């Protein structure tokens, strides 16, 4: 929208219709009325279901729109049985915005979005951001804006994976990251300490389990690829072990068999179900999970 009408011209050049019913002839008339104080006339209808009346005036406008006039109709859902919807689809320019089914497909777009904000985002950082935000570009834009504020006026605006891990929010992937690092090292003490820090900082227990589940899948995939002969750095990228040192990954995975890693799923499922259905202290549930994942189940808990 900002590309069509600037903030200073919006008062005279932009008209927005919300979800209240409005006659389509009034909308078209607004789109045709060019103002004296703005170069362009932009009309936005936030929901196509708000348009009421005979669509013929809309069809006529779409066939011969005035110069510098733009009528944008947003359709969160569209009922193709309606004549109005048929007119919008057939006579207008239809743009479909869909979230990629695989976050990896959003990486190129995120790199372009970061450039537009003056950032130099490393590809691994863009891949992590895509996963954290579930390829939701609105969330990505918000995280990039947060990074811009965090960096401030620094001359070098190169953004690596560590910064994404430090300030990005809203994902269990990051909530369980430090815990997952310790699990990969098969270091029970470090994992328990990371769990305590996460809980004390307000992280939701289910998000910690979610982060561990993501890492568990990546570890199993990387283990299978490496044992199949794939070079470690390529296996890390394929398995989405962003920012991980390939040598460290190899050393960590050497501590586990494929059978052990495949068994992580049942422990994670049990912890998830217990947190949702039983009145047990989250710290106790997570400690039991760590014991199970690191192969120390049954050992005495640390004080």
Digit-coded pLDDT (tens) for 113-151 = 999 888 989 888 888 888 878 788 888 888 898 888 888
| Cα 60 to the center of its chain, rounded Å | 40
User: How many residues would you count in the chain?
Assistant: 303
Q: What is the pLDDT of residues 80-107, one digit of tens each?
A: 888 998 888 888 887 777 777 777 788 8
Q: Give the domains, in start order, of the chain with CATH numbers.
A: 10-91 (3.40.50.300), 103-167 (1.10.8), 172-293 (1.20.272.10)
Output the CA torsion sign for 74, 80, 81, 87. positive
| Structure confidence at residue 173 as a pLDDT band (50, 70, 90) | low
| Structure confidence at residue 28 as a pLDDT band (50, 70, 90) | very high
Please tell me the distance from the alpha carbon of residue 55 to that of residue 114, in angstroms, as a whole number: 40
- E strand spans, the chain: 14-17, 22-23, 41-45, 51-52, 69-73, 120-121, 158-159
Q: What is the 3-state secondary structure (H, E, C) of 201-239?
A: CCCCHHHHHHHHHHHHHHHHHHHHHHHCCCCHHHHHHHC
pLDDT at 3: 67
The answer to whether the CB of 290 falls within 8 A of the CB of 191 is yes
Higher pLDDT, 134 or 170: 134
Instruction: Report the predicted TM-score, pTM, of the whole model to 2 decimal places.
Output: 0.55
The answer to whether the CB of 38 falls within 8 A of the CB of 12 is yes
């Amino acid at each position: 929208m900002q590309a069509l009408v600037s903030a200073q011209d919006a008062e005279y050049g932009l008209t927005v219709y919300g979800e209240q019913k409005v006659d389509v002839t009034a909308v078209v008339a607004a789109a045709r009325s060019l103002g004296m104080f703005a170069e362009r006339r932009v009309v936005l209808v936030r929901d196509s279901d708000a348009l009421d009346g005979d669509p013929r005036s809309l069809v006529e406008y779409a066939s011969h729109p005035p110069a510098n006039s733009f009528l944008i109709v947003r359709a969160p859902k569209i009922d193709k049985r309606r004549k109005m919807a048929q007119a919008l689809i057939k006579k207008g320019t239809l743009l479909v915005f869909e979230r990629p089914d695989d976050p990896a497909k959003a990486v190129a777009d995120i790199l372009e979005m970061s450039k537009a904000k003056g950032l130099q985002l490393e590809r691994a950082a863009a891949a992590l951001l895509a996963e954290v935000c579930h390829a939701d570009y609105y969330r990505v834009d918000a995280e990039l804006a947060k990074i811009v504020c965090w960096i401030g006026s620094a001359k070098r605006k190169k953004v690596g994976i560590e910064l994404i891990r430090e300030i990005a929010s809203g994902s269990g992937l990051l909530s369980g990251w430090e815990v997952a690092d310790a699990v990969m090292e098969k270091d029970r003490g470090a994992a328990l300490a990371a769990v305590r820090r996460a809980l004390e900082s307000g992280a939701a227990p289910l998000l910690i389990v979610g982060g561990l589940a993501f890492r568990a899948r990546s570890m199993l995939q990387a283990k299978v690829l490496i044992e199949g002969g794939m070079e470690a750095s390529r296996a890390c990228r394929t398995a989405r072990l962003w920012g991980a040192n390939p040598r460290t990954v190899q050393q960590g995975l050497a501590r586990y068999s494929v059978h052990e890693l495949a068994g992580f799923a049942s422990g994670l499922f049990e912890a998830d179900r217990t947190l949702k259905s039983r009145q047990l202290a989250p710290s106790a549930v997570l400690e039991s999970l760590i014991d199970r994942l690191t192969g120390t189940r049954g050992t005495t808990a640390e004080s």
